Amino acid sequence: MTTFDDRKNAQEAKFAHDAELNFKAEARRNKLLGMWIAEQIGHEDPAAYAAEVIAADFAEAGDEDVYRKISGDVAARGADLSEAVLRAKMEELRVVARDQILKES
C-alpha cells in the first residue's frame, strides 16, 4: 500500500506544481503582452497598461477576456493589428513566459 500512496502523493505534487507553473506563466505572458501592446499603441505608461492586462485575465477562465481587452484598446487607438497578429503574439509570448519561469526555477 505504501507504493500506491507514494505514487498518489507524487501525482498530487506534480499536479500542484504544474498548476502553479501555468498560473505564473499566464501572468508573465500577460505582462509581456501588455508591454508589447503598450509599445504598439503608444501608451504613455507601459507598466500600468501591463497591469491592466494582467487584471483583465481574472474576468473569466481562458484567454478571451485578455483578447477582448487588448483588441478593444488596439481598436480604440486606431492601431493596425489584426486578430491573427494579436492571437499569434499571445501564443508566442506564452512560450517565452513559460521558458522564463522554468529558467528561474
- The reported pLDDT for the residue numbered 1 is 60
pLDDT (tens digit, 0 to 9) for every residue of the chain, 105 residues total? Answer: 688 788 888 888 888 888 899 999 999 999 999 999 999 999 999 999 999 999 999 888 889 999 999 999 999 999 999 999 999 999 999 999 999 999 997
Phi then psi dihedrals of residue 23, to 5 deg: -65, -45
Q: How many domains does the chain have?
A: 1
pLDDT tens-place string over residues 74-102 = 999 999 999 999 999 999 999 999 999 99
Rounded Cα distance between 94 and 62, Å, is: 13
Which residues form the domain of 72?
2-104
Query: What's the CATH number where 11 sits?
Result: 1.10.790.20
Name the pTM for this structure. 0.85
Residue pair 66/57 in contact by the 8 Å Cβ criterion: yes
